[in-house]
Chains A and B, each alone.
Chain A
Amino acid sequence: MFAPRLPRLGTEIAWRDAARRLAHVPPSEIDWGWEDAGASMFDAPLPEPRALTVPKPFAALARLLMAERTGRGFTLAHALLHRLPAERGLLANRADPQVAEAERIAKEIRRDLHKMHAFVRFREMPGQGARRRFAAWFEPDHRIEEAVADFFVNRFGDMDWAIVTPEVTIRYEGRRVDLAAVASTRPAEGDPLEELWTTYYSNIFNPARLKVDAMRAEMPQKYWRNLPEARAIPALIAGARGRVPAMQAAAPRPARPPAEAAQTVETRVARPDTLEALRMAARGCTLCPLHAQATQTVFGEGPPDAPVVIVGEQPGDTEDLAGRPFAGPAGQLFDAVAAEAGLDRSACYVTNAVKHFKFVQKGKRRLHQRPGTTEIRACAPWLERELALIDPRLVVAMGATALQALTGAGEGLLARRGTVERTRDGHPLLITVHPSYLLRLPNPAARARETDRFRADLARVSDLLVS
Chain B
Amino acid sequence: MGKMSIRDKLALLSDAAKYDASCASSGTSKRGSRDGKGLGSTTGSGICHAYAPDGRCISLLKILMTNYCVYDCAYCVNRVSSNVPRARFTVDEVVWLTTEFYRRNYIEGLFLSSGIIRSSDYTMEQMVLIAEKLRAGGFRGYVHLKTIPEASPELIERAGLAADRLSINIELPTDASIKAFAPEKDPAGIRGAMGKVRLTKEDYGDRSYTGRRRGRFAPAGQSTQMIVGADKADDRDILGNATRLYGAYGLKRVYYSAFSPIPDASAVLPLVDPPLMREHRLYQADWLLRFYDFSLDEIVTRDAGGMLDLDVDPKLAWALQNRDRFPVDVNRAAKEMLLRVPGFGAKIVQRILKARRHGALSLDDIRRMGGRVKAATPFVIARGHHPGGRLDAADLRARFVKPQQMELF
| Chain A residues packing against B (C-beta within 8 Å) | 89, 92-97, 100, 114, 117-124, 132, 134, 136, 151, 153-159, 175, 191, 193, 195-197, 199-215, 218-219, 227, 229, 233, 236-237, 240, 244, 247-248, 250, 252-259, 261-265, 283-284, 291-293, 295-297, 318, 320-323, 361, 363-366
Contacts and interface: CB of A to CB of B under 8 A. Distances in A.
Nearest to B55: A214
Contacts of B180: 258-259, 261-262
Interface centre among B19, B103, B199, by most chain A C-beta atoms within 10 angstroms, is B103
B186 to A, nearest CB: 7
B243 A361 contact: yes
Interface of B: 6-7, 10-12, 14-15, 17-19, 32-41, 43, 47-58, 61-63, 72, 74, 81, 83, 97, 100-101, 103-106, 138, 175, 179-181, 183, 186, 188-189, 191-192, 194-196, 198-199, 243-244, 246-250, 258, 260-269, 271-274, 276, 351, 354-355, 357-359, 361, 365-366, 368-370
A250 B52 CA distance: 25
A154 B10 contact: no
A154 B243 contact: no
Contacts of B368: 94-95, 97, 100
A292 B244 CA distance: 10
Contacts of A214: 51, 54-56
Contact of B11 (A114, A120, A199, A219): A199
Given A93-B355, A248-B271, A157 B39 contact: yes
A175 B33 CA distance: 10
A247 B271 contact: yes
Contacts of A323: 192, 195-196
Contacts of A265: 186
Interface centre among B179, B194, B250, by most chain A C-beta atoms within 10 angstroms, is B179
A286 B28 CA distance: 38
Contact of B263 (A132, A227, A236, A247): A247
A154 B188 contact: no
A296 B192 contact: yes
Nearest to A114: B47
Interface centre among B41, B61, B188, B351, by most chain A C-beta atoms within 10 angstroms, is B188
Contacts of A233: 53
A158 B248 contact: no
Contact of B39 (A156, A219, A237, A257): A156
Contact of B104 (A121, A207, A209): A121
A119 B49 contact: yes
Given A247-B271, A320-B248, 18 more contacts: A95-B365, A95-B366, A114-B47, A159-B39, A196-B6, A197-B106, A201-B50, A206-B54, A208-B273, A209-B274, A209-B276, A233-B53, A244-B273, A252-B265, A291-B188, A321-B198, A321-B199, A361-B247
Nearest to B57: A218
Interface centre among B50, B74, B365, by most chain A C-beta atoms within 10 angstroms, is B50
A229 B49 CA distance: 11
Contact of A237 (B14, B53, B101, B266): B53
B95 to A, nearest CB: 14
Given A209-B260, A295-B191, A364-B250, A122 B105 contact: yes
Nearest to A293: B244
A291 B273 CA distance: 34
A295 B57 contact: no
A248 B43 CA distance: 41
Given A201-B58, A253-B266, A92 B354 contact: yes
A453 to B, nearest CB: 32
Contacts of B192: 295-296, 321, 323
